[in-house]
Amino acid sequence: MAPTETTDPASPGEMIEAFYDADAQKAFRVSASYHRREQVLIDLPTHAIVSDHSPGLGGDGMGPSPGELLLASLAACTAVYVGRNAKRHDIPVESVDVRVRFDVSHEPPDGPLDTISFLDRMQKRVEVVGDLDDDQREKIRFFVEHCAIGETLKRGVEITEDIVFAAAGETIACPIGGAGRIAGGDDPSCCA
């Protein structure tokens, strides 16, 4: 029996690029549907979660708030960047824990809202356990400071917003995550 040929697996950098290239498709990756009070059902490709506010903010505390989800994204991205890259660089890290907090600011609106609230500052604390030399600590610091979510937040991101209106009783033929087009429309951009 002849040995089979194997190819080298893609480098981590190539795998990451392929993952994000797959995300560049036109189909939306995440959808959120308002249910009641402060509750929103969030559908992801392999999971569904409920976002909600605490009772003090008008919710029922059924899940993390949108702001907490943003913090969780930053914390998770940082933890995986440090853990994965420490392993790739043979840095003996035993554990990585990330905590993130935010400050909220409010502005008077230029429209029908009472106030516009936004997160104006995030603070990230990363705790790394391991017997590390100075060079390894500098590499860890670099990983902490350059995760994809952190880079996105620091650099800013262009957000485009499309609003589709339908009269009561009408169905939007191309709901988020669905295939097809808006009835009577010539815009194929919503096709999955």
CA 75 to the chain's CA centroid: 10
pTM metric for this prediction: 0.75
Whether 185 has a pLDDT exceeding 60, the answer reads: no
| pLDDT score recorded for residue 68 | 94
DSSP state of 183: T
Over range 23-50, report the average pLDDT: 83
Indicate the burial class of 66 (C-beta count within 10 angstroms; 0-12, 13-18, 19 or more): middle
182 contacts: CB under 8 Å, gap ≥ 6: 164, 172, 173, 174, 190
Over range 85-108, report the average pLDDT: 95
Which H or E element spans position 119? strand 116-129
DSSP state of 66: H
Give 1's pLDDT tier (boundaries 50, 70, 90).
very low
Nearest to 180 by CA among 168, 161, 158, 164: 164
Whether 31 has a pLDDT exceeding 70, the answer reads: yes
Sign of CA dihedral 41, 43, 48, 53: negative
DSSP state of 58: T
Indicate the average pLDDT of the chain.
Answer: 83
CA distance between the termini of the chain? 45
For residues 51 and 192, the model is more confident at 51
Give 26's pLDDT tier (boundaries 50, 70, 90).
low
Residue 171, CA atoms < 13 Å, CB-side half-sphere = 5
Give 100's pLDDT tier (boundaries 50, 70, 90).
very high
For residues 157 and 98, the model is more confident at 98
Which H or E element spans position 103? strand 95-107
Which H or E element spans position 129? strand 116-129
Sign of CA dihedral 85, 90, 93, 95: positive
| Gap between the Cα atoms of 142 and 139, Å rounded | 5
